[in-house]
Structure formats: structure tokens, C-alpha cells
Amino acid sequence: MLNMHHQQHKVKPRLVTSRVWLLLCLLGIAGCGDEGPVSEKADTRSVSSMGKDHQDGEWLLHGLSQGEQRYSPLARINANNVNDLALAFEYRDFVVRGRTERGLQATPLMDDGTLYFTGPWDVVYAVDARTGEERWVYDPDVDGARARVACCDVVNRGVALRDENVFVATTDGYLVALEKGTGEEVWKTNTFVDRTASYTITGAPRLAGNLVVIGNGGAEMGVRGYVSAYEIETGDLEWRFYTIPGAGQDETIDIARARKTWSDNMPWEYGGGGTVWDSMVYDEKLGMLYIGVGNGGPWPAWERGDGAIHDNLYLSSIVALDAETGLAKWHYQTTPGDSWDYTATQHMILADMEWDGEVRQLIMQAPKNGFFYVLDRESGELLSAEPFVPVSWASGVDMATGRPILKENANYSKQDRVITPAPGGAHNWPPMALNLDTNLVYIPAEERSGKYATYDDGRGYLSGSRNTRALSTFPNAKMDADLLEGLPPLRLHSQVIAWDPVRGEAVWKSESQLPFTGGLLTTAGNLVLSGSSAGFFNVFHAETGALLKSIEVGTMITAPPMAYELDGEQYIAVLAGAGGVALGRYHPEFAPVKYRNQGRLLVFKLGGNTVPLAPLKEAPIQNAIPAGLPSDAETLLLGQEQFERHCVRCHQPRGFPSGYPDLWNMSPETDEMFNEIVLDGVMEYGGMAEFSDILTSEDALAIRAYIAADREKVRRGEVQADRIQLH
């Protein structure tokens, strides 16, 4: 395997000898059925049984088991009675800053009768798991200006728990330990190496032995990715692993290896990317921490140096670190020379399963690039790589080299190309789930195509801004017909896919859904559960995929459900609220187009109450268009350019539905305050930071003028809202 870097360390496939098997058997780690050491159901449990996980119906770790399988052994709610699933209680008292109700993406944890979860702005909530009654709320008072450099909303994917502490990471870079009983701060540490760089955190911290580990995001914004590990009691930094070389002198053996795969002319002011913004999994037995590394920055590999395409380690890779030292043991690069925002930050699952007649310790991932990977997690050996959705950038993966076989269509350096998957990926952060009864991995899969194009606005790197030097839009079937020849049909939808990781093929696929399907939970009740962007909570039969129950809630759900049990009652909890990248542009059928996007924790049980729909959105008052602004062509063009460069990341033009304030219906009072908002930062607390570093008062006036003039055009029916661009 070329991707195996420790040649001297090349490990022979580990055989489970009968003696080892007997030991595992006695320790209760492996199942000991009549069929001997190849019982798949039993084998997969070995990782989940390490450490305290779901005893007493609790949910203590982000992915429930240490291998993050998200398989609940609870079965009181099952395929036979799930039709009676209804509301136990809900909690809605989330902190909202300014006018934007933001997304909820966390997995609630349940420990000793209390649910711990995060909402927007990294606020931590502890509520009674029987009633939803609030016990405490911790608000880290995040710097509102960080929202400007967050790629996709101010969201948080949850806390970690250990003994008497709760750990949370914040958008503005702090890792905080709280007292579990009170929410009081125990310690708080800055994790950002450069607080002027555009780093943000959205991910949940993970525990690895005596360490709390956290990464960050910002690959589009000009940062260099890394992961930091802190001592759990004190918050002292133990080690830091950089995912890419950077310009600095901090040469480790891992960095030296990576540097050989980058151009000497890499413009490091662009950061390089490689952020670890979501998935990390710890294997206590092997002492390894697996991290999923993000895309390159700028996006096109040929823009990262001398014009040639280099592999650029460890972009888009799974890296196995020695959890004690933070040094790499092995790596596997899913997308060498990433040019498509194909992160490998997606959820990774650990399980021990039978593979060609022997039990192997596996790691599985379905990253953005559309292939489902299975590797031996001790050696890094690639075992399987099969596409789980149609892909147009590669025809397959060469199993001898581990490298994708690129299609000509993948290269958009000379011309625009329509490529599948789009930058949003065939699978994004919503977690998968591995059912230990069916041995299937359920994937919240997305199918979408992107028209990739490079751009050069002549400005070079711009701090605090997007610096991708490429963009992707949803293709137009008519206008882009020539680019679409010979490609899979244009798609913009999602599906739950039941994937057999051993055979490398889908067993069932759910009905087509709107884009942005929710993260998954699977249970011993033969269930697969997830929310949808249309505002439904859906329950599928784990074996057949039949839709057993669909509860309309009127709130978009992308967070993964979890399950717990108390006093003999099983509950299913899920956070609801549109956010993340979806907040910037709604599909017309998304729940928040019709209903108010209020954050909710929904908790279900058998025989509960009807779930109240979210309140209907009120039609906004139509505000007068400000008059007296400049209308010359030069000013309007400058305004449009600056709007499209800096504002459109959140604010959609022409009233296209989104979760952010509609500037095409700006009140005259807001327009009068435009400079104070855009240049002085008076709305910073709500997430609207100042832009005085890159916009002048002349720019601000031009943006106002452009918006006002365009609003007149919309009112006269001369222009319409753009076609959908989800990416």
C-alpha cells in the first residue's frame, strides 16, 4: 500500500488465534456462539463493550459506544409498536442572539437522569431526562464576531462527559470543563494557535484516555488544520498534531513526510486547510485516536503551489495517531490532491467484523467523495472502497495503490465541470449508524451535482474572507447541457442507505427526500431513526427499509437522535432546528420556509402526546425601499461585486428563502444604520461582525445602492430570485 507510510511498521493481518479467542470469550468481549470465532453479531460488539457506555440505559459518549456505532441495545420501542411513538416532552428555551435562530446539531448525552446538550453559540443545557425541566444552563458568551469566519452558521455538535465534568468547545476556540452538577467552570483554555486567523470550532470534544481532544474548522477561510489534546483534570496541553506542513519550523517526522507531498511554492498565507472539524474516534485497546482531515485551501490543488497537482498530505485523510504522543501511526488519503472540498472529516465507525474468514478490527467511513471505505484500523490496510452514490470524478479506487482512478471530468482547471458529488458531499457531518443485529451501516446520503469553476478576483488572499479560488453552483440543465453530457442525471436529494460493508453494496435505500437528511440512530428494536429537512421524524425498519412511522414536527431535523431508558421507559431524543450550511439557502420545501425556525429538543416515548407543530411563520411586512441612494452604473456594479464577495455567504439576494435577515426587505431604519452595522459592528453580538477591514464606507454605500436598485427591479417584476444553489 503506497499510502502506508510506516514501511518498517507494516503489520501482517492480525489473526485471532483460538487462544486469544478464548480469552476474549472469557472477558465477555467477544461472543462465544456455536459458530465459533466468526459470529458477526458478537464480533462487532468488541469495541462497544470497552469502557462504560450504555449501561443502565444511559448514553455517555458522543456516538454511544467508543467505536461510535450509534447502535442502542434498547428494544422496548421496536418495529412492532413504534406506531405508538409520540411526544414525552420538549424543551425550547434556547439562547437566541439577534434575529437569527440558528441550527441544532448536537447529540444529547444522558447520564444519571440528566440530558446534556448544546445549542447555538455553544450554550450547554442540562435538563431532567424524565420531564425536560431545566437544571442549569452554561453560556460561554462566545465572541459574536467569530460568526463572520464560521463557514456555515454558529452550531455545536455536543459535549463530552467524564466523571464529574462536562466538556464543551466554543466557536471562538475555547475548550471548557464544567462541573456536571452545577455547570460552573472548572477550567477554560484557548485552543487557537493564532487568534487572528479564521479558526472556528463546531465539533464535539472526544475523550482519549486521560485526554480531551478537539480540532477546529476554517479550511475555506485560510487556516492550517490541527488537533490538540489536553489533560482532562487540568486542561494543560499534552500534544498537538498539525495535519499539513505550513510555513513554520515545527518539523516533526510526520510533518517532514507530509512536506514532500506539497509544492515548495505553496502560498502558505492561504493556510492550506486540512481542518479536523468533526470526526475523531478513540480505540482504547490499540491506543489509537483516528482523526478525519478536511479539504485543501484554496480548493484547486493546482492553486497550491507550482500549478502541478500534488497529493498534499494529510488533506482528506484518515490519520491514526498514537493517542499518548499525537504521532502518526498510519494514514490513508481518500482524495489525493483534493480539489473538490472532499473532506474526510465525516463520521468514522469502529467495529470488529468477519472479513474473508477472519475477524478484523475495522474502521469505516463514508466521506464526502462518495466512496464507502473499510480499512483495518490497526495497520491502515485498505479492504474495500465502493461508491455508495453515483460519482463522476473517479471510476473507482485502485485496491493495489489505494488511490482513486480519476476521470477527465474531475479536472476543472481549464473549463467548468459538472462534478458529482458537489462540495456538500455525498455524506456530510450527520452521523451514520451501525446496527449490530443486521450488520448494516446506515448512511444519511446526499446526491447532488456541482458546477465547479475557478475564479481569480485579482485580490489574492483576503484575511477574514473566503479564499477558495473556486466555487460550485447547482448546474442548470438547459444552460449547462454541454457540460452534462455522459454524466449521471442531475440530482438534488437525499436518502437513507443501508450499506453492507462486507459486500460493499447497498441493501436498501429509502424513498428520495429533500437534501440535508438527518443523522441516524439504529436500535435493537430493529429500527433506524432520523429527521428530515421537511420537518418530519422518520422511523424505518432496519432490515427492510420500510417507513414504519413518520411524525410531522414542522421543524427541520439534521441532528442525530439518541435513545435512553429510565424507570423501565425508553425514550428517543433529538434536537431540531435548521442550521449549518442549510441556513444560508432554503429549498422551497424545507420546514423553516413555512414554520418558524425555533430550536427544540424533542423527546419521544410510546403512548405520549401529539407533537405540536412549530408555529407558522408570519408573512413579513413589506418595507419601503430606501430612496435617494446613488444609481449610477459604476456604483451599482461595485455594490453587486462586494455583495457577492462578502455578504452572500449568509444573506440571500432577492428574497430567496434563508434563515438570515432578508436584506431585500430591509427597513428604511436598518438601511440608515447600514454603516454602523457593516463598519462599526453594532450587531456583532447577534453574529453580524464589522467588515471595516475589507469594506470602505464607499463600498458600504455601493452595497446599499445596489440592494435598493435591485429591490426596485424585483418589485417591477424585471428580475426574479435565482435558481436554487445548494452546495
CB of 345 to Ca ion, least distance (A): 8
To the nearest whole angstrom, how small is the minimum distance from the Cβ of residue 155 to Ca ion? 15
Judge contact between 394 and 407, C-beta under 8 A.
yes
Cβ atoms within 10 Å of 464's Cβ, excluding its own = 18
18 CB burial (10 A radius; 0-12, 13-18, 19+): exposed
User: Residue 329 to residues 255, 276, 291, 294, 460: CA-CA distances in angstroms?
Assistant: 13, 17, 12, 19, 37
| Single-letter amino acid, residue 71 | Y
**Closest to Ca ion by CB, 235 or 272:** 272
d(Cα 620, Cα 616) in Å, to the nearest integer? 12
Catalytic-role residue among 43, 53, 341, 699:
341
CA distance 289 to 215: 12
Q: What is the CA radius of gyration of the chain?
A: 25
In the complex with Ca ion, which residue's Cβ is closer, 66 or 295?
A: 295
CA distance 47 to 39: 15
448 to 420, 436, 612, 726: CA distances (angstroms): 6, 30, 32, 9
Task: Using the minimum distance from each CB to Ca ion, give the nearer residue, 146 or 704.
Answer: 146
The nearest distance, CB 293 to Ca ion, in angstroms, is: 11
Distance CA 170, CA 493 (A): 31
Based on CB atoms, which residue is closest to Ca ion, 278 or 341?
341
Say if residues 134 and 121 touch (Cβ distance below 8 Å).
Answer: no
By the criterion CB under 5 A, which residues form the site for Ca ion? 219, 295, 341
Please say which residue, 219 or 433, places its beta carbon nearer to Ca ion: 219
Distance CA 637, CA 653 (A): 15
Q: Could you tell me how far CA 717 lies from the centroid of its own chain?
A: 38
Please give the angle made by the CA atoms of 674, 676 and 679, to the nearest 5 degrees.
95
- Distance in angstroms (rounded) separating the CA atoms of residues 624 and 689: 25
Nearer to Ca ion, 150 or 625 (CB): 150
722 is catalytic: no
What is the rounded (10 degree) CA torsion for 603, 609, 610, 613?
Answer: -50
Beta strand 521-523 with 71-72 is parallel
**CB nearer Ca ion, residue 219 or residue 374:** 219
Min CB(385)–Ca ion separation in Å: 21
Q: How far is the CB of 152 from Ca ion (least distance, A)?
A: 9
Neighbours of 243 (CB within 10 A): 29
Min dist CB 342 to Ca ion, Å, is: 9
Tally DSSP H helices, then E strands, for the chain: 9, 40
Residue 429 CB, shortest distance to Ca ion, in Å, is 11
Residue 582 phi/psi, 5-degree rounding, is: -65, -25
Residue burial 352-385, b: 16+ Cβ < 10 Å; e: rest: bbbbeeebbbbbbbbbbbbbbbbbbbbbbbbbbb
**Surface-to-core class of residue 636, CB atoms within 10 Å of its CB (0-12 exposed, 13-18 middle, 19+ buried):** buried
Compare residues 220 and 386 and give the one whose CB is closer to Ca ion: 220
Residue number, 219 or 677, with CB nearest to Ca ion: 219
Q: Do 277 and 216 touch, CB atoms closer than 8 A?
A: yes
- Rounded to whole angstroms, how far apart are CA atoms 580 and 557? 11
Q: Smallest distance, Å, CB 222 to Ca ion?
A: 12
φ/ψ of 509, rounded to 5, equals: -130, 140
**Cell numbers placing 174:** 475555547
CB of 519 to Ca ion, least distance (A): 18
Provide, rounded to whole angstroms, the least separation between the CB of residue 277 and Ca ion. Answer: 8
In the DSSP assignment, the letter for residue 296 is: E
Peptide bond into 314 cis (omega under 30): yes
- Could you give the CA distance from residue 393 to residue 419 in angstroms, rounded to a whole number? 6
Maximum CA pair distance of the chain?
86
| Residue 661 CB, nearest approach to Ca ion (Å) | 25
Are 572 and 603 contacting, i.e. CB atoms less than 8 angstroms apart? yes
Instruction: State which residue, 295 or 555, has the beta carbon closest to Ca ion.
Output: 295
Smallest gap from Cβ 524 to Ca ion, in A, equals 36
Report the residue number, 224 or 377, with the smaller CB distance to Ca ion. Answer: 224
Q: What residues are paired with 417 via a beta bridge?
A: 452
335/409 with CB nearer Ca ion: 335
Question: Please, what is the Cα angle at 385 between 290 and 302, to 5 degrees?
Answer: 80
Residues 75 and 582: their CA atoms lie apart, in Å, by: 33
Catalytic positions, please?
Answer: 341
